[in-house]
Amino acid sequence: HRNAEFLHNEVPGMRIPDDIRERMHKAGSGEAAQLEGVAIAQDALRAARDLAQGVYIMPPFNKVELAVRVIEPLS
């Protein structure tokens, strides 16, 4: 959840909704947080599917396997 709070509070123009930050806070850290982050990203992609022709996914800390976990079930 620290990454979500950082983005929300420190990156100009970036707003992470309260409900998303709460989901990440409840998930804690480690594997649980990664799984929740993947679920949040999948939810966002499903919501945007008809609105965008493509997406750009930037996993934290160059963890490419997380990006794969986000998009594989949606393909």
7-20 tens-digit pLDDT: 999 999 999 999 99
Rounded-to-integer distance, Cα 42 and Cα 2, Å:
20
pLDDT range class, residue 75, cuts 50, 70, 90: confident
Rounded-to-integer distance, Cα 25 and Cα 22, Å:
5
Tokens of 32: 């649980």
What is the overall mean pLDDT for the chain? 93
Rounded-to-integer distance, Cα 33 and Cα 47, Å:
21
**3-state class of 19 per DSSP?**
helix
Across residues 41-67, what is the average pLDDT? 91
Structural domain harbouring 13 = 2-74
Q: How many domains does the chain have?
A: 1
Q: Could you give the residue ranges of the DSSP H alpha helices within 1-75?
A: 2-10, 18-27, 30-48, 64-71
Look up tokens 């949040």; give the residue: 40
